[in-house]
Amino acid sequence: MSTSAGPLTSSMLHAYSAHICRSEKRARDRLTDLFNEDQTPHGGPYLSRPLQQFQTIDAGYKELVYDLAPAGEQALNDEGLWQERAGGASGPWKHRHMVSTITAAIELATHARDDVAYIPQHAILDQAETTLRYPVPVRNPKTNKTETRYLIPDALFGIEYRQGSERSYRFFVVEADRGTEPTRASRFNRKSHLRTFLQYREYVGRRLYKEHLKLTAGLIVPNVVAHETTITAMLDLMRAIYPRGCSYQWFQTSKRLDCAYKSAVTDIGIASTPYLRVGHVSSSILAAGP
């Protein structure tokens, strides 16, 4: 079962159930049934097809995306499978779809290997008895005054690395960008790459996350960006903030994510492809190491 909250393509949903339903066609038919059947014990269809996916001229050539309908959430809750802290990214639908695709791709990649295991967001937050939202004091570079702004990552997960009987862990907070976020903003209360980087300098650099999330292992910030121009600007800004480099801010461009629902895409390389790091060698999520 998927632990990634948010809208996903039919191929990704089938990938989670391929061990019990090998036929992708039968899986798509079942998804259609769960979308169309409104005479359910919970008073409506269990799945929805978000309307935003049909707002392009080539919508008929794209793979369908499904999300949980209210009746589906209620059904999971009745079975004890609903996780309040599983969350789901906020903001526009395309952004939420991008985030859920990222976390689902990473989780599915771990399913194909024996040396790693995926730790979902709700398990981390449940153990810490907290939410993803955390107030971080950060200095406003324009006024030179310290202001408190909430840091709300798009998603949180962990990876358990297995080498024989040994276990090691790393945790990750995802920042996804479709090219809509400014590098700098005229007002500090608007989210920008600059403000986010400064917040993470406090949150990770000063280990505030250890108090917040009750973690002993390290925390990494994978920045997944849809456009090359955006990542170039982000890396230039990182070099200005961290002239000696930064090991925990990771960067990767994935153009396929910006149109992930156009075709059947389950392996988008997010987990295995190396991420760029300013002043450090590249590293990947599924590779245990510094």
Q: pLDDT tens for residues 93-132?
A: 888 888 999 999 999 999 989 999 999 999 999 999 999 9
Over 70: is that where the pLDDT of 255 sits? no
Tell me how far apart the alpha carbons of residues 45 and 41 are, in angstroms, rounded to a whole number.
Answer: 10
Tell me how far apart the alpha carbons of residues 203 and 210 are, in angstroms, rounded to a whole number.
Answer: 9
Between these two residues, 268 and 232, which has the higher pLDDT value?
232
pLDDT winner (highest mean) among 77-91, 102-116, 260-274: 102-116
259 with 179: CB under 8 angstroms? no
Mean pLDDT of 248-275: 71
Tell me how far apart the alpha carbons of residues 104 and 48 are, in angstroms, rounded to a whole number.
Answer: 18
Each domain of the chain, given as residue ranges in start order, spans 85-283
pTM for the full predicted model: 0.90
Place of tokens 């999971």: 76
Instruction: Give the phi and the psi of residue 250 in degrees, each rounded to 5.
Output: -110, 150
DSSP the chain: -----S-EEHHHHHHHHTTT---HHHHHHHHHHHHH---STTSS-SEE--GGGG-STTGGGSPPEEEE-HHHHHHHHHTT---GGG----SSHHHHHHHHHHHHHHHHHHHT-SSEEEE-HHHHHHHHT--S-EEEEEE-TTT--EEEEEE--SEEEEEEEEETTEEEEEEEEEEEE-S-S-SS-SSTTS--HHHHHHHHHHHTTTTHHHHHH---SEEEEEEEES-HHHHHHHHHHHHHH-TT--SSEEEEE-GGGGGTTSS--S--STTTSPEEETTEEEE-TTS---
Whole-number CA gyration radius for the chain: 20
Mean pLDDT of 258-279: 70
- Per-residue model confidence (pLDDT) at position 260: 46
State both tokens at 275.
């991420």
- Per-residue model confidence (pLDDT) at position 21: 79
201 with 248: CB under 8 angstroms? no
- Per-residue model confidence (pLDDT) at position 88: 67
Instruction: Give the phi and the psi of residue 97 in degrees, each rounded to 5.
Output: -65, -40
Place of tokens 């996903």: 8
Over 90: is that where the pLDDT of 156 sits? yes
Residue 252: closest CA among 278, 274, 229, 280: 274
